[in-house]
Each structure stands twice: as C-alpha cells, then as structure tokens.
Amino acid sequence: MGLKLDLHGFSNREINIIYNMVDDYIKLMKVDVSNMQLTIANIPARVCPITCPKRLNVWLQVDCAIYLCHQTNYWCQMIYQLAHELGHFFMKCYPEKNNFKWISECLCEMCSIVFLYRSMTFFKYFEPSYVNSAQGYINDHLQKSLSYSALTCSKLVANAIEALESDPTENGTVGRPRNCYIAAKLFNAVGYDAMGMSAICLFEDLSRAETVKEFFDMWLEKCRSDDEMYFVQTIRETVGI
C-alpha cells in the first residue's frame, strides 16, 4: 500500500480489517501516500476520535496520528470512526476556515457510510454475520436523525446554515444527527462506489474562498477528472449551494 501504518491497541482481527480498509481507501483516493507514516491508535477512554496532522502538531514523530475510541472488536464502530478520520487525513485536515468546516465534517461522515457499505463486500467472505451488522449500524445511526426526515438535504442546509458554520462538529450531540442526515443524503447521491471521491484530497488551498459558493467554484476548478467534477457537482447540488 506504500503508506507506513503503525497500529496500537487493536486485536489481530481489527488489524486485518484496518489493512483492508486503508488499502481500499488509498485506491479510491488515487493519491500517492508512499513515504508517509500514519499512526492509528485505539484509546477507548477518549470522548471522541480525532485526527492530528504533523502540520498542526509539531511534536508528532509521524506525518499524522489518528486516535479512535471504539469498543474492542466492535467492528462497525471502528470502521465508522476510522473512515471518518481517514477522510480528514486525505483532506490533510483542510479546509481550515471555520465556516467551511461543515463541508468536510459532512463529507467525512459520508465516508463512514461509504466504507461501512464497502465493508459488506469484505465481510461477505470473512465474516458473513457482519454484513447485516453493518446495515444495522447505519440504520441505528440514522434513527437519531429522525427529526430531520421531512427535509430535503438542501432545505436542511439552508435552514441550518448558521449552526453548520458555527458548530460544524455538533459539539456535545450524541451521534451527530444533523451531519449524519446530510451524510446519508450525500451517500444516496454518490453511491458506495463513490466515483470521483478523490476530489476530497483537493481542499488544501480552498480556505482562501470568501463564500461557500466560491468554495465550490474553486473546488470544481481544481478537479483532475470528469469523475471528480461529477462528484463535486453532485455534492453541490445535494446541499443546494
């Protein structure tokens, strides 16, 4: 896979899943991560998972560290958390401007759903009983978003834009129902093969944008393929920007 992984606090089964998942992620992102070092550790006592790039944490010995906090061998929870944090890793933890962070948070949440679906293919061969668990985990998660269920995604974004900009991570809210609802809508629009999802690697200098519209214009301009352009357009239409 090229990327040097350094794992702490995982069972052998979890390590197997992580290697498969990271490999799949890299292929989807079409990005060169050879020579990069990533530490992933599970610290169940943490309150929430976090991604720490060296850029913002100069003390780090590696390029990036991801800390998860799933219960041991609760694979769906691990995949959900890790897929979200790997999203931040591939975005290089951009955009930095606070009023654009909801875009990356909702996309990372979408990555969780994408990879839970993709894990079903993996589990079909290695752990068939887990195929249903992955679906059940997504359903449970979405149950928390029921209060939004009458809204289209663009309507929700329009109604909640101030909250999205000031509180992109839904601080203190269990299950992040708002972001999860938006993520599920994004997932419905892009599907689990997530063509063009590598566009999330292009966030690095989009913080220069002044408005969300400008952010999407600049993002679209940076796309390297028709798939990426299609992906960005689809996301843009779904959130109604």
Q: Which is nearer to Zn ion, 80 or 122 (CB)?
A: 80
Q: Which is nearer to Zn ion, 55 or 124 (CB)?
A: 55
Q: Which is nearer to Zn ion, 183 or 202 (CB)?
A: 183
**Shortest distance, position 84 Cβ to Zn ion, whole Å:** 6
**Comparing C-alpha atoms, which of 88, 42, 51 is closest to residue 69?**
42
Which range in 1-9, 101-109, 145-153, 191-199 contacts Zn ion by CB under 5 A?
101-109
**Shortest distance, position 104 Cβ to Zn ion, whole Å:** 7
Do 72 and 11 meet the contact criterion of CB atoms below 8 Å apart? yes
Task: Give the number of C-alpha atoms closer than 13 A to the C-alpha of residue 214, restricted to the C-beta side.
Answer: 8
**Shortest distance, position 113 Cβ to Zn ion, whole Å:** 14
Which of 29, 108, 194, 223: binder of Zn ion (CB under 5 A)? Answer: 108
Q: Which is nearer to Zn ion, 99 or 130 (CB)?
A: 99
**Shortest distance, position 35 Cβ to Zn ion, whole Å:** 25
Which range in 14-22, 102-110, 150-158, 212-220 contacts Zn ion by CB under 5 A?
102-110
**Shortest distance, position 174 Cβ to Zn ion, whole Å:** 15
Please tell me the distance from the alpha carbon of residue 94 to that of residue 110, in angstroms, as a whole number.
16
Whole-number Cα distances in Å, 224 to 31, 193, 206, 230: 12, 18, 15, 11
At 197, give phi and psi (nearest 5°): -65, -15
Sheet holding 37-42, edge to edge: 4-8, 37-42, 64-68, 50-53
Token pair for residue 149? 């269920």
- 103 forms part of the interface with Zn ion (CB under 5 A): no
Torsion of CA 72, 132, 189, 53, to 10 degrees: 10
Residue nearest to Zn ion (CB): 108
How is 158-173 classified by DSSP, letter by letter? Answer: HHHHHHHHH-TT-TT-
**Shortest distance, position 51 Cβ to Zn ion, whole Å:** 7
Q: Which is nearer to Zn ion, 108 or 212 (CB)?
A: 108
- 79 forms part of the interface with Zn ion (CB under 5 A): no
Strands, E assignment, the chain? 4-8, 37-42, 50-53, 64-68
Which range in 2-10, 97-105, 215-223, 224-232 contacts Zn ion by CB under 5 A?
97-105
Binding residues vs Zn ion (CB under 5 A):
105, 108
